[in-house]
Amino acid sequence: MSEQPFSDTSTESAKKPLTTLSHDALARQRSEDSLEKIDNLSGGFEGILARVRESAHSPNRTKVLERDFTMGWVAEKLGYSTEGLRFKESEGAIPPQEKDARGRRVKYSLDQFRDIQQKLELNPGRGESENPAVIACANFKGGCGKTTLSVHMAQYLAIRGYRVLFIDADPQASASMLLGSQHEVDLNSDDFEFTLEEYLSEQIQDFSSTIRPCYFPGIDLIPSDILLSGADYHLISRMQMTPDVLTLLQKGIQSVWKDYDVVVIDPPPALGALSLSVLAAVSGLVVPMRPTLVDFDSTYKFLRMISGNLDVIVERGFDIDYRFVTVALNGYDETKAVHKEIVEGMNVRFSRGQLFETVMRNSAEIDNASRDLRSVYDLTGPTGNHKVYKRCVSYLDALFSEVELKIQQGWPSNSETLRAQGRG
């Protein structure tokens, strides 16, 4: 890591004067200079990023979930009173809550909560013979919140007790970074396994070897990095002759899905073979959209485009099975007239199956958390204003509880419970 990431490392002064070079040599020199400019600039980024990671993930550069949970929170989530939970403890049905040196009960970790939930047989997952939900947050519009929503959604589901596999299928690897992956560090480590790029480029057959543990209990991660864009080229070049390559991801997911309830995918923003592979693999689509006219228009084009592309996939004999395709309005700012107009207009024209009722607000909490490579569900408390934090968590919870309901509706074993709750 450079101590002075912004210092000028260019070596231009050491080179020959351009006027003494032949035409070809001149062109080569210009090309080399151009690449060097990019490399120098990216070197500057690398240094700063390493420093940010170090401070966000200290002390041992590994991200940990610092958040913990009171007995009241655990009891409420499990539908118990605290007395009821203590009784279960005294019966030995669940492990006793740990105590500190002064004999005070310490809060539960998420691992401990999930363990208690399992011991009480209250985990909300699918029936054994049912398939996991495979959900992508997809829209080709850059910056609409795909990564933000997919990471928070995976974490919400893990906190609820589901077993989640998160697949970062975007070479930008923003979700991997938020989920604690440090690819350039892991690449040099002995326990580094294989990558999604190697699986999709058919260098390896074992999809499971691309899965890694994540600091967030309940989530396993298939991280991404810039090399994943190579998989896109591989898939495109083989697509004409072997259209089956578009189902490689789907088959990979199916080879491991007995271990999960939900698979969440963060797809690349552009339409290519990789995003087609994601679209062929999912059973539900959350379509994040910012409430502006430009985003409205590009979401329309996105839907038209994927419908055309999926048509081709279906014509080639592949099955797709979408349980829901639903727009999630994200980044709403009630002080903006155009946002209000679009939200109100969409609420009138779209059904609940097409548009989530919860409109995710634009929240400083999301920005503040991401500054430290954290999500809002990572936070142990507000980054600033308590009200802003509470509001942000309540909107995220409300949005993902709608997604959760759609997931549950896909599992017939839950239909009786849902009907009893009036949600079937």
Contacting residues toward ligand ATP, per CB under 6 A: 142-148, 170, 172, 174, 269, 330-331, 360, 362-363, 366-367, 370
CA-nearest of 126, 34, 103, 133 to 406 is 133
Beta strands in 64-195 (DSSP E): 133-137, 164-168
CB 325 within 8 A of CB 287: yes
Token pair listed for 185 = 């560090």
CA-nearest of 17, 330, 409 to 144 is 330
SS3 286: strand
**Residue closest to Mg ion when measured from CB atoms:** 147
Nearest approach in angstroms of CB 378 to ligand ATP is 13
- Which stretch, 81-89, 139-147, 212-220, 408-416, contacts Mg ion (CB under 5 A)? 139-147
Nearest approach in angstroms of CB 124 to Mg ion is 28
Identify residues 154-193 at the interface with Mg ion (CB under 5 A).
174
Cα end-to-end span (Å), the chain: 55
Can residue 147 be called a binding residue for Mg ion (CB under 5 A)? yes
Encode 11-38 in three state secondary structure.
Answer: CHHHCCCHHHCCHHHHHHHHHHHHHHHH
Residue 341 is classified by DSSP as H
Nearest approach in angstroms of CB 266 to Mg ion is 6
Pick 261 or 295: Cβ nearer ligand ATP = 295
232 binds, among ligand ATP, Mg ion, none (CB under 5 to 8 A by kind): none
Is beta strand 324-332 parallel, antiparallel or unpaired with respect to 360-361?
parallel
Nearest approach in angstroms of CB 145 to Mg ion is 8
Nearest approach in angstroms of CB 287 to ligand ATP is 11
Token pair listed for 369 = 């958390």
Pick 150 or 201: Cβ nearer ligand ATP = 150
331 binds, among Mg ion, ligand ATP, none (CB under 5 to 8 A by kind): ligand ATP
Give the phi and the psi of residue 201 in degrees, each rounded to 5: -90, 5
Pick 245 or 306: Cβ nearer ligand ATP = 306
Give the residues across from 289 on adjacent strands.
Answer: 329
CA-nearest of 218, 222, 215, 253 to 124 is 218
143 binds, among Mg ion, ligand ATP, none (CB under 5 to 8 A by kind): ligand ATP
330 binds, among Mg ion, ligand ATP, none (CB under 5 to 8 A by kind): ligand ATP
CA–CA distance, 409 with 238 (Å, rounded to integer):
37
- Which stretch, 2-10, 120-128, 144-152, 357-365, contacts Mg ion (CB under 5 A)? 144-152
SS3 99: strand
Pick 53 or 146: Cβ nearer Mg ion = 146
Can residue 146 be called a binding residue for Mg ion (CB under 5 A)? yes
Element (H, E) at 328: strand 324-332
CA-nearest of 341, 340, 355 to 289 is 355
Nearest approach in angstroms of CB 3 to ligand ATP is 27
142 binds, among ligand ATP, Mg ion, none (CB under 5 to 8 A by kind): ligand ATP
Nearest approach in angstroms of CB 154 to ligand ATP is 13
Can residue 141 be called a binding residue for Mg ion (CB under 5 A)? no
CA–CA distance, 131 with 254 (Å, rounded to integer):
9
Nearest approach in angstroms of CB 145 to ligand ATP is 4
> Applying CB under 5 A, which residues contact Mg ion?
146-147, 174
